[in-house]
Structure 1
Amino acid sequence: MRILAMGIASAATFVAVPCAFAAQDTTGEVRTFDARSHLLVLDNGVAYALPPAFRDPGLKVGQWVRLSWAVENGVVVAKRVILMSP
């Protein structure tokens, strides 16, 4: 019985771990954008790192965006940036 319980607990751990790394969505206004450092800060105060291959869709301060992001090695990384209409 103990072996069965350990097997179920182990399986539950492996199922729960991928959920911790799932991307999340955020909508907000661009406070700052630095193309050189690949850093985007929204009005919520969170700085999102952009991947090196990021293509700027025309980001400007004051513009509304929707981000898909995830935490990687303690850094909040934007996976996708979509411009929103006012």
Structure 2
Amino acid sequence: MLSVALVIGFTAVIAAMAMNVFRLVRGPYPEDRVLALDTLYINAIALILLLSIEFASRLYFEAALLIAMMGFVGTIALAKYLDRGDLMH
């Protein structure tokens, strides 16, 4: 039962990542690209957590936590850049 759920989960997350990459490349506005990148981080975290369940390893949880922190900081920096035009002012 768990293996079927993991296959469905992998399929859904990879499909969501493909749609995010499409929006990242094609997005008409920079704000759309930032949101697509932010959602891509979240999908990468979900994929890593699914791999952690698949391989029964706790090491992947730490990697997911690091990606979450870097994704949050990156999204804030990009939003600030789009709002003001610079990061340090």
Q: Give the TM-score normalised by the residue count of structure 2.
A: 0.28
Q: Give the TM-score normalised by the residue count of structure 1.
A: 0.28
Structure number with bigger Rg:
1
More strand by share: 1
More helix by share: 2
